[in-house]
Amino acid sequence: MISRLFGRVAAAVALALATIAPAHANDGNTLEAQFDSTFGTETRAPRDFTATYATPFEQQLAQLANGARGRIGIAAVDLATGQEIAVFGDQRFPMASTSKIAIAATYLEGVEQGRWTLSSEFALRVPVGSRRFSTAIAPTRDGQVMSAAQLIDLMITRSSNPATDALLKAVGGPAAVNDWARRAGISEFNLTRDIATLVRDDGEFDPAVHVDLRDSATPRAMAQLVSGIYQGKWLSPASRAVIVSAMERCVTGKGRIRALLPGEVTVAHKTGTLSNTASDIGVLTTPDGRSLAVAIYVTGQGGKAGRDAKIASIARALYDGYYTDAGRQYASARYPTAQ
């Protein structure tokens, strides 16, 4: 279902397309065929592109997410109405470090249950050199001991892998995070390895042409994740503030969601990066409190710069469509911060 807030975005998308679209034009059937020829784990019957994407905005956004140079998935949710738009929003992509938001949420749920506190201390999990695929779990050693509050800050603002694995071990591993996601109603989310193992064995498959269900999620599921965190659906105001504050101070991915947005937009986000894939998920909030949750997953595109530029262009097109629809009355999506 497409919110009316995107009705005026076509011009913005067209402008973005003018700067990044391939030199040759692709009709809808060609775009579908290009995607299907590289999507290794699912076959789909041929279908008419204009029937699949009914509105001009959907069609243009699909062109912006052209899979000719690598699979791309997009999901966005209007936090005032709950309406959404997605292109390949139900296809699986590598979560990479975007999974760290769910890991933090799992730990904070434990804080609320009295299992531990933000001042509880854990040792960083520092990788020990080992050959790829030589063990089911990559070996690590104890590093510096830090508080949980420090670890959450490092894992989100700077995407620290040793900090993430410290908290992942504390909560009980990937199964505990998957359990939290299921109870939150996020079904298309599957964490199977710690970050040390994920990074050590990275590159086993090319995500542009192969879908690995391990450590993967759909863009729609991750938009649901950031929406729920931002709106305080699953955590207390204090716990929600810990995650959102860190997301607003995230220093990674300067060339991604943030890159083309106006300076007055508040961006609370988390990036992810692995071989031939880049992602960025978060919430864009205007000065008057209108918010849009976005999840953008990109593979291929000729290299890191191309992937970052694609994420930035998609984020800007979505933002422009949201912000310029002045004919609607918007409810503030801001959630009260903890006192």
CA distances from 171 to 121, 153, 316 (A): 13, 17, 36
Domain residue ranges of the chain, discontinuous segments joined by +: 4-95+172-323
Indicate the pairing of strand 189-190 with strand 277-285: unpaired
How far is the C-alpha of 159 from the C-alpha of 189, rounded, in Å?
19
Cα 332 off chain centre by: 23
pLDDT of 199 strictly over 60: yes
Between these two residues, 12 and 262, which has the higher pLDDT value?
A: 262
Mean pLDDT of 268-293: 95
Residue 6's pLDDT band, with cuts at 50, 70 and 90, is: very low
Three-state secondary structure call for residue 9: coil
How far is the C-alpha of 269 from the C-alpha of 79, rounded, in Å?
15
Beta carbons within 10 angstroms of residue 282's beta carbon: 32
The region of weakest confidence among 65-79, 134-148, 178-192, 209-223 is 65-79
- Whether the CA torsion 324, 327, 331, 337 is positive or negative: it is positive
174-197 in b/e burial notation, b at 16+ Cβ within 10 A?
bebbbebbeebebebbbbebbbbb
CA distances from 75 to 86, 187, 225, 280, 315 (A): 4, 15, 11, 11, 10
How far is the C-alpha of 271 from the C-alpha of 253, rounded, in Å?
6
Residue 194, phi then psi, degrees to nearest 5: -75, 170
pLDDT of 300 strictly over 70: yes
Strands (E), 79-174: 84-87, 93-94, 121-127, 140-147
Class of domain 4-95+172-323: alpha beta
How far is the C-alpha of 314 from the C-alpha of 309, rounded, in Å?
9
pLDDT of 209 strictly over 60: yes
- Residue whose structure tokens are 């997301």: 247
pLDDT digits (tens, 9 = 90+) for 31-82: 344 444 434 333 232 233 444 566 666 676 777 888 778 999 999 998 988 8
Three-state secondary structure call for residue 244: helix
The region of weakest confidence among 47-56, 122-131, 248-257 is 47-56
